[in-house]
Structure 1
């Protein structure tokens, strides 16, 4: 990994485009972005933020690239994405380790995130030959109707720290095979992994003589993301993050009648029926609640348990949590790494305070871990709390490993609890009862974008469209027909006859 990092440390990167051209900020007064690892608190890199001047130059370079890239046949664009996938295969270990160290997720999850990039590259290659439109029969004689799809232009991608590279790839790979160019604004908390991705694909883009500007990187905080949202030159803004951030992006982009794709907060629930196979359910609950230290948008936050098995499930969970190993995520023996920073730790502490204040009972107390193995101050103990159903803290997403236990009597009560929050991303039920499973998946069941049976709330595959409803934003990324979000539909009618019949039988004679 040291050699890999050395490639990235040749110069302090600020903003740049696909084949390595960089636009350097010259002001000595620029406040550098410091990337500290939550693993050990060490400073990994200092990155120049993008200025308005820099931003405008990047956008104009991207716009010029689009005029050429849109004319490249889609299967050829897919071939270039295929080569990117091969590059990510080559650097999977190095990039996965970097993701783990900069973000704090376990090494296995870091490798898994890079595998998601590889998988979406494979998916996009096939999709590049399947950008299908429809043909329709015209009501007019000697006429043919069909629809086709064209690229939008410049796509802005705002990604979050918790999946610092995978979510970019879900957007970028599909946007590219559709003929768009991309400007990526990664989280200011994880800029180095973004720079690494840009370096990894650089060789592919150069070898294929891809126009400068097809893949662009800008860095900075909320103000830099706002530039994308406000800019009428950006055809689509895809934003992943908090509901508060998503609402601001939506209002700004809608104000200029632009397009947006939002992947926002989740407050995901798992229903445990009395008909559940608990040997399957318990590992799913634990991974869903503590994986990535509870910092997935699909993390399991609420566990809705049938009252007849409530005590059994509770005892099993307490036992399972007692076996968790917390520590350096680069050690594959550990299950739980750190939170991203001390601000996240403060949010965790605030939620623990609210649990007690609102009548909850902690089965496993949360705490900040101290000692030589936890020097960054970002390691916390995953907590479990029994809660009254309608308390305020349960209604909100806390990006930390806190699991709320709730009881239910009937399945309808469980579904009402599941749906009774503002968010609507992921959900699941554990049951061997076919009627319960089908009820949960019906229109009268889960109101989430993702609804699973006998698997957890996290761990979505790239083949299905990913996204949620309500305050989760309504966006869909990755598989299925999510490619349509990155294209514009055009309806075409061709008259191959010698007369001009009008639609709806209208007569117009001169």
Structure 2
């Protein structure tokens, strides 16, 4: 990515000074953003001090009083403008996502499209923040429930979706009448700055307070500040299970609210009734897309023994066709891992697979030579394993696909799938209606997402996104996920001239 393209996004990398609200703050500490595509530094971004953090929160507290009094459809108009601006900047922002994070350019464009889609969804929701009317047991009374803004929503995001997850949270939180404070991953700071500038310009042109949307730069310490801060009623955190536990415990200590989107250990079940062509396509994309760095990436393929060898052979052949290289070059299917630490975790996982008795079918390793100078490019791996191997029970954020055999009925495969600590995404490949319905029943998949004849990777905006167990239980995006960002209130109105008391108590004056 050229300097000219960075400037197109209006990223003010120098002389941005200290200011409040929709800008960011500086002190002597900095984050170096480097591209995993070539290992070259892009820019240094200065971090937020605690004094500056306090100023951000105070600006947000002021802004929330103004923003929540604006009618919801008018708040939706601001999000509509954000969606339109994202459409305009989609090619360049998609390229920045690809360059700074390392996912393919097509995936970068797809991530920006998710931002546009959630804006469209949120605009509609801004006219539907509805409650229920409830019949009262007392004559002459009316009951209903309604939803009010929480106030300030803290958003902590991960590197793998550096812009979409912020949009999922911000678009809904803002139309619900909240203001947002964002702590992005320190691995992708420029993507965050770009998004913040886009929204800041919209707020400014509509003469709205900057503190409606704020950006904090720094390491995990800033996430701790947010988590401990009772002025921030809700923390939405996306990342590892380890990080989520820390956030959950810290926020729970002050009886705050959390929305957690954490690790996944996603499986595709392949039954004898599966369409094998669809199966191979879904498994390969799910395992190697974003270099295996999606929370919904396919980690395990649970295959019936009657078709196991056929699936194995087809997969090995398909992996020979995968092209790995510069994600901005559309001829390549897979780009790099995010950094050298991720590469080391990948290598450690390969060692553990062998130590624990697994068999490597498609060998991995770090790629070297022209185009791979960053040291972050690796080969995708297929390994035959047992589901109980400790390494299989963990989530490795890398392109490693585990092949697991099952026999008997589909219930055995479901039991294997569910026998991990995580519960995000799942899928079954079958043309048998009964197998599909068992998989989707209360005795089937225990994941927040359960698909039939599509892979585990990816999700539509219209459905709630999230998972169970160590995935955290949170729900973002579609359906009625907007309710997470609001406080629920039950209202009872007495329009009679008497006051009936609870439990039939009589009290006369």
Deviation of 1:387 after TM superposition, in Å, equals 0.7
- The corresponding residue for 2:496 is 497
- The corresponding residue for 1:205 is 203
- The corresponding residue for 2:14 is 11
Moved over 4 A (4+): 12-20
- The corresponding residue for 2:212 is 214
| Contact persistence 1:229–1:249 (CA under 8 A) | yes
Partner-residue secondary structure (3-state), 1:213: helix
- The corresponding residue for 2:297 is 299
Give the distance between the partners of 2:454 and 2:35, measured in 1 at CA: 32
Cα gap change, 1:460/1:16 in structure 2, threshold over 3 Å: closer, same or farther? farther
Deviation of 1:14 after TM superposition, in Å, equals 8.0
Give the distance between the partners of 1:242 and 1:156, measured in 2 at CA: 17
Cα gap change, 1:205/1:331 in structure 2, threshold over 3 Å: closer, same or farther? same
Q: Check if 1:380 corresponds to 2:384.
A: no
Give a deviation string over 1:399-427, Cα, whole Å, max 9, x none: 00000000001211101110000000000
Could you tell me which runs of 5 or more consecutive residues in structure 2 were left unpaired when the two chains were aligned: none
Give the distance between the partners of 1:15 and 1:437, measured in 2 at CA: 56
Deviation of 1:301 after TM superposition, in Å, equals 0.3
Q: Check if 1:91 corresponds to 2:89.
A: yes
Give the distance between the partners of 1:186 and 1:156, measured in 2 at CA: 11
Deviation of 1:4 after TM superposition, in Å, equals 4.4
Could you tell me which runs of 5 or more consecutive residues in structure 1 were left unpaired when the two chains were aligned: none
| Contact persistence 1:12–1:46 (CA under 8 A) | no
Partner-residue secondary structure (3-state), 2:148: strand
| Contact persistence 2:26–2:47 (CA under 8 A) | no
Give the distance between the partners of 1:502 and 1:10, measured in 2 at CA: 64
Partner-residue secondary structure (3-state), 1:155: strand
Q: What does 1:402-413 align with in structure 2 at a 5 Å threshold?
A: 402-410=400-408, 411-413=410-412
Deviation of 1:10 after TM superposition, in Å, equals 4.6
Give a deviation string over 1:205-238, Cα, whole Å, max 9, x none: 1111122200000011111111100111111000
Give a deviation string over 1:346-371, Cα, whole Å, max 9, x none: 00000000010011110111100000
- The corresponding residue for 2:507 is 508
Give the distance between the partners of 1:14 and 1:408, measured in 2 at CA: 60
Deviation of 1:12 after TM superposition, in Å, equals 5.7
- The corresponding residue for 2:266 is 268
| Contact persistence 2:200–2:210 (CA under 8 A) | no
- The normalised TM-score by structure 2 is 0.98
Deviation of 1:102 after TM superposition, in Å, equals 0.2
Cα gap change, 1:11/1:226 in structure 2, threshold over 3 Å: closer, same or farther? same
Q: Check if 1:444 corresponds to 2:443.
A: yes
Count of matched residue positions in the alignment of Structure 1 and Structure 2:
505
- The corresponding residue for 1:469 is 468
- The corresponding residue for 1:196 is 194
Deviation of 1:456 after TM superposition, in Å, equals 0.2
Give a deviation string over 1:172-220, Cα, whole Å, max 9, x none: 0000000000000000000000000011122211111122200000011
Give the distance between the partners of 1:12 and 1:479, measured in 2 at CA: 39
Give a deviation string over 1:20-45, Cα, whole Å, max 9, x none: 4x4433xxxx2310000000011111
* Range with bigger deviation, 366-375 or 138-147: 138-147
Deviation of 1:444 after TM superposition, in Å, equals 0.5
Give the distance between the partners of 1:59 and 1:269, measured in 2 at CA: 41
- The normalised TM-score by structure 1 is 0.97
Give the distance between the partners of 2:152 and 2:86, measured in 1 at CA: 24
Deviation of 1:494 after TM superposition, in Å, equals 1.2
Cα gap change, 1:130/1:269 in structure 2, threshold over 3 Å: closer, same or farther? same
Cα gap change, 1:206/1:75 in structure 2, threshold over 3 Å: closer, same or farther? same
- The corresponding residue for 1:332 is 330
